[in-house]
Structures are given as structure tokens and as C-alpha cells.
Chain A
Amino acid sequence: MAGFMKNIQMAWLGWKNYTDDGKMAALLLVSLAYLWYCGKRMRGRSFWVYSMCVTIGCICPITAALFMRIQTKFYDYEWIWSMVPVTAVIALGMTLFLARCWGDFGLSQWRKGLPAAMFLLAVTVLAGGMGGELPNQIYQVQEREKAYGVLEELIALSQGGDVCLWAPREVMEYAREADGHIRLPYGRNMWDASLNAYAYDTYGEDILALYEWMEQMSDPAAMETALKSLETCVRNARNMGVDCIMLPESVASETIQRMEKASNLHVRCLEGYWVFYG
């Protein structure tokens, strides 16, 4: 019962989140209402009835919680909206509205049709957030390009990419997609928790320590703390099979010397990173 109540709470918060950025849900409701107004003349009434029922089901917290319970914990609230044909219902409503205003869509009736079309265009543009999640994605483009640059150099250096790499997060993120031969002590699922649902494997304390150490090394404010345990962490990493270590170019030359000595690897500079390999 407590779990179900939590689901209801999550469904309510999920609905608020779903309607936060864009207003497609509002457009869907308007469209459903218009299709109801079109009534019996409309073909595909069963489509409207289905859409109406599942929309109400997804909005009402109790039924939404029930859907969430059935759809498995693998997916969040917003995924129950997959059942609702949002795009198709809005498109149908808009087409019928436009057909009513514009008649046969001919040039002769443009005086009536064009304002209606412009109105719908404006409504669509305003209802869509026009790229709410985009800024974050655009930042990732530059990050990916930089990571691919250094990884390609590394693959060439290792003659095929058969290395076990330990590097800052922004490089590790793209290492496995750049080349399947590159192995890592920990992967993207360390910081993207949703990926942990794909496997029963979990990381041990020693691997978590490696991740935290590298995060500290990438942060100038926390670098001092990380330097205290440099030798221990590098020894652990080498014991785990790591044979290539990367550090940001900003680290001090003293740190590079300590790292070279502790890892027993040769250092070189590649695309803005110190690479200890071979």
C-alpha cells in the first residue's frame, strides 16, 4: 500500500514535470475536445475513444500509478504516455480544423484558410518548448569531438585500441563507443545510474575509489586531496589491469613525474591530455 501511495505521489509530480516545459499535453486535450465536438461525422471514433480513455488514465494519479506499477520500475512516469498517440491525435484535430476553415485547401479560399493555418502554426510553435533539452545536448557535441580526437590518437598509438584505459569522465564516456577493443575499469553507468538496470554487475569499493580519485584530479579545487593518495590509487589501478592512464593537461609537472614513477609507464601529451602508456 505504501508503495502504491508513493506511485500516486510520483504520478502527480510526473504529470507536473510532463507539462512543465512544453504544452503538448494541453494541445492534446484541446484536440480531443475538438474531435469530440466534431462528433459522429468523424471516421475513426474508436481511435478517439481509445485516446480519450488512456489520456484520462495517464492524467488521473490513481490510474497513472496503476499503469506505473504494471509498466515495471525500469521506466519512469513519463513513459506511460507511450500509450497515448499524442502526435496522431493533435495532427488529426488540426487537420479537421484546417479542413473546416480552408474547405478544399484551394488558393481561392486562402483568405479564410491562411489565417487558420498561421494560427495553428503559432499554437504549435508555442506549445512545443522548441528544444527544451537541447542546450545540454549541444554542449555534449563539443565534448564528444574533443574526446574522439584523443581516443583516435590513442587507438593509433596502441595499434588497434587493445588497452585498459583509466581517464577523466569526459574521455571514458566515449571510449567504448569509439572502439569496442578499449577496456575500462568502470563505464558510463558509474555516472548514468539508469544504465545499471541493464546488468546485475555492480562496482566494488576499490573501483569507486578510482572513480572518485579521477573526479578529484579533474577538479582544481579538489586536486590537492587526490595527490595525497596518488601512489596507492595508481597501484590499485595497475593491479586491476589498467595499462593506460590519462590526466588533464592542467596538472603540475611534479604530479606527472610522480605518476610516471608510480605507474611505470611512459608519458606523452595527446590532444590536451597527459597519456601514460607503454
Chain B
Amino acid sequence: MTRSLRISVADDELDMRDFFEKMLPRLGHQVISVAETGRELVEHCRSLRPDLVITDIKMPDMDGLEAAAAIYNETPVPVIVVSAFHDPEFIQRAELDHVLAYLLKPIKLADLEPSIALALRRFEQFQALHKEAADLRQALADRKIVEQAKGMLMKVANVDEKEAFRRLQSLAADKNQKLIEAARMILAVEKALQPVQGR
């Protein structure tokens, strides 16, 4: 079974709110907030930071998809939509708004269980990929700066690449800094020493 999740739910119908509150704990999860409208759901998520959101679409004042988008903007959280409607427009919006499952009413508790597990798993994979991509992008940017700093040293100190890299390393070690920080420092100094241009 999946780990126990803190879940925020939203549905404008009392029967469904009761259902989630009573039945989700039977799957080992905890319902930390119950909302009647999209706006309420957004507020709950802002203050409680749930692990998972289960929401209806058609609700007064703000619909579930709009709420999901607003929540996702603040903190990424997996969202399962449970709706009686499956118009192409809704499905298209759901695709955009990082909805991880779209269940068509009527659903049974038995339908929710695998959906929750899958949605969570997909969300974690999604987040991991996100992080990996961000790390790679950062690594690439860092590498560029280090290369620039190396080139700078080679030119100014008239040394070869290997020596330039060694100097950069020892500078970082002396200052107790990371390599990228030392590289940035060198580039900053280089910029400061440059003659004023184009005045």
C-alpha cells in the first residue's frame, strides 16, 4: 500500500464531502481539509500544504481546474479531478493544469485507490525529472562560467589550460569556496579592471 497521505478534498455536494472524509481514511489516508468551493480549496492548500488534492470541477465561485492551477503556481502538488463532466474543454484544461488523474463520476472507493497510488507515483517521477533537469541546467551554466574564468587566467597569466585550472582550484581551496564561486570572482575582477568603453 501507498504511504499515508495528507489529502485536501473539494466538492460542492455534501454526500461527496462526507464520502471522502469517511472513506479515504479506510485507504490509510488522512483528510486534512474539506472545501465546498475552489477558493476554499486554494486557501486550505496554502495553509496546510497537502500531499494530494482531490477536487470536483464544477463548484461555485472558482472551478476545480482553476483552483488546481492556482495551487500549482504556489506549490506543486498532485491533483486528482473527479467530475461528472468530460467535455473536451475540461479535458484540455486538465492537461494544462498538471492534473494527474481525471476520474468520471460515478466512482467507487475502489476506483480511487489505484488512482491515488498512480497519481502520487507519477507526481514523484515528475518532480524527480524536474529536479534532474534543473540540476543539469545549473551544471551546464556553472561549467560555462568556469570555462570563461579559465580562459581569462590563461590570457592574463599566460599559462596553459591545465595550469589555469590548477590555479582556479587552489584559489577556491584557499578561500574555502566552491569552484564556481572562485570562477565568478575572477570574472567579476576582470570586468572591474576593464577599461571603460563607448563613453
Mutual binders A and B: no
User: Interface on A for B, CB 8 Å cutoff?
Assistant: none
User: Interface on B for A, CB 8 Å cutoff?
Assistant: none
